[in-house]
Structures are given as C-alpha cells and as structure tokens.
Amino acid sequence: MSENNISIDQIVSLSKRRGFVYPGSEIYGGFGNSYTYGPLGIELKNNIKNIWWKTFVHNRADMVGIDGDIILHPKTWHASGHVGGFTDPLVECEETRQRFRADHLIEDQLGEDVDGWTVEKINKFLVGKELLSPATKKPTLSEVKTFNLMFSTQMAKTSEGEDSKAYLRPETAQAIFLEFKNVVDTNRVKIPFGIAQIGKAFRNEITPGNFIFRRLEFEQMEIEYFVHPSEWEQLFDNWIADMHQWCELIGLDNAKIHELDVPEESRAHYSTKTIDFEYDFPFGCKELYGCAYRADFDLGNHQRESGKKLEYRDPQTNEVYLPHVIEPTFGVDRTILAVLCEAYNEETLEDGSTRTVLKFKPNIAPIKVAILPLMKKDGLPEKAKAIQEKLQIFGNVEYDEGGAIGKRYRRQDEAGTPVCITVDYDSLEDETVTVRDRDTMEQERIKITDLFSYLGEKYFQ
C-alpha cells in the first residue's frame, strides 16, 4: 500500500477493467511480461508523448528530434560498451531451471548490497553462506553468472554465426550518437543543443515485474544534450530543474519525487554522474527517470571504432572539440504507471456510496470531455453529437448515451474524464447544457455558445 493507501493490485484491476492496460497474449495464457495498451491506455500514452515532444522539442530553440531504427549496426553495441558491460548477475535454480537476479536475492536474504560487485567477488562472498532458491526454498542455486540484457537476433542477409548477430536496442540513445554529425551538418544547431527521440527499447530483464514498471519491451523518451566540456555542471543542474517541471506539468506531486545521486558502483558503465528521479510507487520508492552525465564516452568510442571524426567546430571561436553529453531520460511506461498511481482515488460520498476516480490533469486525460444526452430520443442525441463535433478541437471527446446518467458519470470518473456535459430537454429550449466537474462533482448550467471558451479557460489552456 502506498501513502495514499493504493495497492498495485487496484491499479492493475482498474487498468484491465477500463481498458488502460491488458495482460498481453491472454488468450494463450499470457506471455511473460507482455502487455497491451487498450483504448484508454493508448490515448494516455500518446498525450504524454505529445506533451513531452512539445515541451522539450517544439517549445525550445535548442532542441531537434530524430527517429532512428531499433536494429542498428552491431558495431554500435560493441563501441557503446553494451556487449561487454550491460549485464546483470544471475543464478539459476538447478531443480526448476528458473533464473533469478543474484543481487536481489542476496540483498533480501543476506542483507548485503552487492551492487557494482564483480561476479567473482559475489561468488567469493557467498562461500559458506546459504542462498535459497525462491522456487524450492532450498539451496539449489547455481554459481552467480553474468547475463547480457540485450536481445539478439540473426540478420538474414549474412551467414549464420557471430557476424550475422544483431541486437534490439536496449536504449534509444545510441542512434542519436550515430547521427550527431548528420544533425550538425544539416541543421542550424549550435552547442549547447540537444537531440530528442521517442521509441521502443528492449531488455531481457531476468526479473521483470511490478506490472508495467519493469518490462522486456518498453518505451523511452530520451534527450542527448551536447555541451562544451567546461559547461556541463551548470547545464546539468538546469536539466534537473526542467525534469522537475515536467513532473509537475503532467500532474506528479513533486513531494513524491526524490532525487538520488547514484553512487559510482551503481551507475551505468557510461556515466560519470547520475541523478535518478525516484517516485513513491505503491511498491516502494523506485526509479522513474534519470539524468546522466555521459561526458564524451559515447562520441569518443564511436569516433575511435568507426574511424570517423565526430568533433565539433565552434563557429565563433573555431575551437574543435568532442562535445560532452547530458542525458535526461524518461521511461514512458513508468510515467504511465506513476500518473495512474497519482490520479487514483477511491472516495466515499455524502450518501455513503463510493466512487473510483482518476484525477488526471486535463492535459493527459485520455478522454477530454464526455457528451451525455439524457435520453436516446427526441432530438437529444443529434444535439449532443453536434456539440461533440465542436469540442473535438480539445482532443478525444466521447459520446455516451447508454444507461442511467449517474452510472455514466461514474464510468467517466473511472476513465479520468475531467468534464461531462449533459444535454437534456431544457437544452432544446434554451440552448444551455449541464457541465459537471469530475473532481468537485459540481454542476453548472452553461450556454452552448459559451462552452468553447468556458472549457478552454477552465480545463484546456
């Protein structure tokens, strides 16, 4: 249970019931950690990605975007250090053949934080100690081994073997580094500037879980921000502030966001400094986003491995240098989980009944407005549909004519719709409608001709 007493089970249950997130491949009994975003989920996801792009690309003069491939040249992953260093320590249960994260088991059972330790050091530490398999509750575990988290595949155009091996990207960042020179050469960008990208990433996580928190296939919204090496510290701080503003923009309570200065032994292999943004999820305070100072790790490695110059010439001073990189990174799926947890409320009303309501900020709400004709006859549906058409400029506007009006309000509360508009018989006479606010449940009578400016000012600035 979280501070506001929400359990992840409530979020999972609502997500399935209302079509935010379904368990994937369910008719075949489900498949590992696969999920499908349903009709409400995809609206929420698209809203988040669109606001992110507007905030960090369109609204800034120092940012551009790209869209790179998931399968990049395999040399990319050798140069980036992912083939050699993107690993987790695992143990295998010798009875059930199930695999587990060794570091997690050791922390849970032996109280030792082995983050950043080599496999040899962990195995030495385990000598004379008993680590139990979660499957058998007995010491049936193998030695600790390293496991590379990248999914690999074979390319058809080359012969079988190591040469034909390609990888699904484990981070979107690398396409940005590969295209750095192209972007500089074909755009009017001047350092400091950033390149943004949104897309899928894949990791063969040993222990996926906590619903959509840790997945094998997920989406990232990433920025690689190129700076002069002397300027990184101040610009890094600016990005931390911008990331907090983003959290506020999508309705996350900054009191539930905690910065963690990640210690060296826990940082990714490419990072000189990382601040994680941790969020109070119902299952604990866990990483939501991160901001890493990657220095010239990536451009330096790609320059060396490719033999192509990736340096930048300052147009004013003519100084030639390899830019350093600040990387603010945002997981889309974790954002969705965080805003669902933040918005979820179960309320007891004055009459003793209860309602489940998602108090999304209107900018991310999957349905912006619901139009509800009181009856399915007498010209009310036609009137309601005409209003729906006019308001669609605000985004997804739903028309719902089924069931008692109270039930329809509850359905919209659960979907997180900020405002409902009811069209009744008076509407036909005096051209007014009832506008009901999701959070206060207060109702106001508004002229149809004033609706657009009323909603625009109150909900959708």
Label the pairing between strands 273-281 and 284-295: antiparallel
For 211, which DSSP code?
A: T
Cα 360 to chain centroid, rounded:
16
Q: Which is nearer to ligand GAP, 296 or 424 (CB)?
A: 296
Which backbone phi and psi does 416 adopt, to 5 degrees? Answer: 85, 20
Cβ atoms of residues 221 and 198 within 8 Å:
yes
Structure token digits, residue 20 = 């935010």
Residue 358's contacts (CB-CB under 8 Å, 6 or more residues apart) are 14, 340, 343, 344, 345, 413, 414, 415, 416
Whole-Å CA distances, 450 to 58, 390, 427, 446? 30, 12, 13, 7
State the nearest-atom distance from the C-beta of 10 to ligand GAP, in Å: 20
Among residues 452, 456, 454, the alpha carbon closest in space to that of 444 is found at 454
Single out the residue of 18, 82, 101, 203 in contact with ligand GAP (rule: CB under 6 A): 203
Asked if residue 215 binds ligand GAP (CB under 6 A), the reply is yes
Single out the residue of 112, 115, 253, 287 in contact with ligand GAP (rule: CB under 6 A): 287
Cβ atoms of residues 216 and 205 within 8 Å:
yes
Structure token digits, residue 43 = 């609206």
Asked if residue 220 binds ligand GAP (CB under 6 A), the reply is yes
State the nearest-atom distance from the C-beta of 94 to ligand GAP, in Å: 26
Cβ atoms of residues 35 and 11 within 8 Å:
no
Structure token digits, residue 440 = 């206060």
Q: Which is nearer to ligand GAP, 33 or 363 (CB)?
A: 33
Q: Which is nearer to ligand GAP, 205 or 413 (CB)?
A: 205
State the nearest-atom distance from the C-beta of 215 to ligand GAP, in Å: 4
Single out the residue of 92, 205, 342, 413 in contact with ligand GAP (rule: CB under 6 A): 205
Binding segment toward ligand GAP, per CB under 6 A, in 8-16, 218-226, 229-237, 423-431: 218-226
Rg (CA), the chain: 26
Q: Which is nearer to ligand GAP, 325 or 372 (CB)?
A: 325
Among residues 382, 434, 388, 436, the alpha carbon closest in space to that of 409 is found at 436
Residues 333-392 that bind ligand GAP (CB under 6 A): 333-334
Label the pairing between strands 432-437 and 324-331: unpaired
Q: Which is nearer to ligand GAP, 41 or 290 (CB)?
A: 290
Q: Which is nearer to ligand GAP, 220 or 417 (CB)?
A: 220
Among residues 113, 92, 93, 118, the alpha carbon closest in space to that of 103 is found at 113
Binding-residue pattern over the window 119 to 158 for ligand GAP, x denoting contact by CB under 6 A: ----------------------------------------
State the nearest-atom distance from the C-beta of 151 to ligand GAP, in Å: 12
Residue 55's contacts (CB-CB under 8 Å, 6 or more residues apart) are 246, 249
Residues 391-430 that bind ligand GAP (CB under 6 A): none
Helix-strand-coil split of the chain, %, nearest 5: 35, 30, 35
Asked if residue 103 binds ligand GAP (CB under 6 A), the reply is no
Binding segment toward ligand GAP, per CB under 6 A, in 215-223, 252-260, 376-384, 410-418: 215-223
Q: Which is nearer to ligand GAP, 122 or 243 (CB)?
A: 243
Conformational region of residue 445, where left means phi above 0, alpha means psi within -120 to 50, and beta covers everything else = beta
Angle between helices 39-53 and 332-343 (to 10 degrees): 110
Binding-site size for ligand GAP (CB under 6 A) equals 18
Cβ atoms of residues 396 and 369 within 8 Å:
no
Q: Cα(24)–Cα(294) distance, rounded to whole angstroms?
A: 35
Q: Which is nearer to ligand GAP, 132 or 260 (CB)?
A: 260
Binding segment toward ligand GAP, per CB under 6 A, in 214-222, 354-362, 375-383, 449-457: 214-222
State the nearest-atom distance from the C-beta of 287 to ligand GAP, in Å: 5
Which backbone phi and psi does 421 adopt, to 5 degrees? Answer: -120, 120
Single out the residue of 41, 199, 290, 328 in contact with ligand GAP (rule: CB under 6 A): 290
Residues 322-341 that bind ligand GAP (CB under 6 A): 327, 329, 331, 333-334
Q: Which is nearer to ligand GAP, 220 or 422 (CB)?
A: 220
Q: Which is nearer to ligand GAP, 205 or 296 (CB)?
A: 205
Q: Which is nearer to ligand GAP, 203 or 408 (CB)?
A: 203
Single out the residue of 56, 167, 211, 218 in contact with ligand GAP (rule: CB under 6 A): 218
Q: Cα(456)–Cα(461) distance, rounded to whole angstroms?
A: 5
State the nearest-atom distance from the C-beta of 72 to ligand GAP, in Å: 14
Buried b (16+ CB within 10 A) or exposed e, 441-453: eeeeebebeebee
Q: Which is nearer to ligand GAP, 91 or 292 (CB)?
A: 292
Residues 152-191 that bind ligand GAP (CB under 6 A): 171, 173
Report the interface residues with ligand GAP, using CB under 6 A: 171, 173, 203, 205, 214-215, 218, 220, 222, 287-290, 327, 329, 331, 333-334
